[in-house]
Amino acid sequence: MSSNNSATVDRYLEAIYYISSEGEVVRPGRLATWLSVSAPTVSEALQRLQRDGWVKVKKDRSVVLTAAGVAEASNLVRHHRILERWLTDGLGLDWATADDEADRLSSAISDFLIDRIDASLHRPLTCPHGNPIPGREAPYGELVALAGLRTGASAVIRRISELAEHDARDVLLMLAGHEIAEGSPVYVAESEPDSREVSLIIAGKPVRLSVDLARLIWVEAG
């Protein structure tokens, strides 16, 4: 993190990175929802971010990071994901708790300390939820949304969407409660095109998920 940045700048850069990395077009209204602030607050912040060279606000009001913004946001996300890995692998915290704690720590911790933590973990490729640490290649192939699998399909959980981490935290809490992790095998016991739920066997345990939540879990088909 740049020592000259405020926590507010960091929050916006990280939010824009996460939303865009999930394939969404970043717009002020989405940022207002993500950051739990008002639309005027977002507008003022984006004006400052654009003035300082972190973002570009296009004519259609979509927001993209500049090259400098990408570099800074990537470093923030790197901090967050390495901290999550340390908090889960090193301290035994569950996914949801580790995500909360990493939120509090990622902007305050130095690059030096992150590098030392990273080395102590043998430089992991992903966070505990399977999202790649910036600058590293994910250790899996093409992924598909769990909701897209049909009855009888088998797969392995590889990634939990950042949208699930932020917008549907009950997914993390549920997965943690069932001791389900990246790498857990999943079998689709029942999934019908018009159904609102899917019935699964994950790591040998029966689990029912809404289709909306199943869209936020990415798997590698077996």
Residues 179-216 have pLDDT tens digits of 778 889 999 999 877 788 999 998 888 988 888 888 88
Pick the last residue of a domain from 69, 100, 119: 69
Residues 90-101 have pLDDT tens digits of 999 888 788 889
Q: What is the pTM of this model?
A: 0.87
The Cβ of residue 24 has, within 10 Å, a number of other Cβ atoms equal to: 12
85, part of any domain: no
Say if CB 130 and CB 138 are below 8 A apart.
yes
87, part of any domain: no
> How many separate domains does the chain show?
2
Domain, as residue range, for 38:
7-69
Residues 132-152 have pLDDT tens digits of 999 999 999 899 999 999 999
Q: Tokens standing for 145?
A: 């949304």
* 174: confidence class by pLDDT, cuts 50, 70, 90: confident
What is the pLDDT at residue 60?
Answer: 95
200, part of any domain: yes
> How much of the chain exceeds pLDDT 90, in percent?
65
102, part of any domain: no
18, part of any domain: yes
For 65, which DSSP code?
Answer: E
101, part of any domain: no
What is the pLDDT at residue 3?
Answer: 45
2, part of any domain: no
82, part of any domain: no
CA distances from 108 to 20, 80, 83, 145, 155 (A): 24, 11, 12, 34, 38
What is the pLDDT at residue 168?
Answer: 63
Q: Which of 30, 163, 183, 5 is nearest to 99 (CA)?
A: 163
The CATH number that applies at residue 165 is: 2.30.30.90
The CATH number that applies at residue 51 is: 1.10.10.10
